[in-house]
Amino acid sequence: MKPHEFKELLDHDPAFMGKMAVDFATLIARQAEAVYEARAMGFPVIVSSTLLYLVEAGPASLTEIAAGLDHSHQLVKQRTDMLQKLGLVRTERDPNDGRRTLFHLTATGTTEGERLLAYRAEAARVFTALSTELGVDLATILPRARMALEATPLAARFGMGGDQTAQVQS
């Protein structure tokens, strides 16, 4: 079997739904990166949700960002480090709790955050049009699929019983 034949096989195999989802997310990120570059956005797609959290919620700790995005602390730390290197966020000790570090948008971060909000509005329109084209509301079906697996994990669906809920970050 040739590599492209194997890929084609997996692309239609329900047993590899996770791979299909990752492939879809990767395709979206790759194509969005081209849009970001064309618009001269000053940050990569991969940090968008972290930047958006700070735009929407204001200064926040690593723990708050991780909880808000449902990402691991390690992943959020990588993203906030990248945002700092890009000059979009700065850190300060929490004046109410010196043990906590808060991430704040810089002036450049605020400007890029405004650009992200404009992209977000247009991306919503684009993905709504894609949903119409496909005849399925992706913004409804994807969260529903995730919630269904959270409610009844794969192990239970395989008849293994017990609560096999596991947090997996990709």
- How far is Cα 84 from Cα 130, in angstroms, rounded to an integer? 34
Quick: pLDDT tens for 35-90: 999 999 999 999 999 999 999 999 999 999 999 999 999 999 999 999 999 999 99
What band does 163 get if pLDDT is binned at 50, 70 and 90?
low
The average confidence (pLDDT) of the chain is 92
Write down the pLDDT at residue 162: 57
**Listed residue (73, 85, 76, 10) closest to 42, CA to CA:** 85
Topology of domain 39-157, CATH: Arc Repressor Mutant, subunit A (1.10.10)
Q: Do 116 and 55 meet the contact criterion of CB atoms below 8 Å apart?
A: yes
Backbone angles phi, psi at 72, to 5 degrees: -70, 155
pLDDT at 170 exceeding the cut of 50 = no
Q: How many CA atoms lie within 13 A of 26 on its CB side?
A: 7
Q: What average pLDDT score do residues 103-132 get?
A: 97
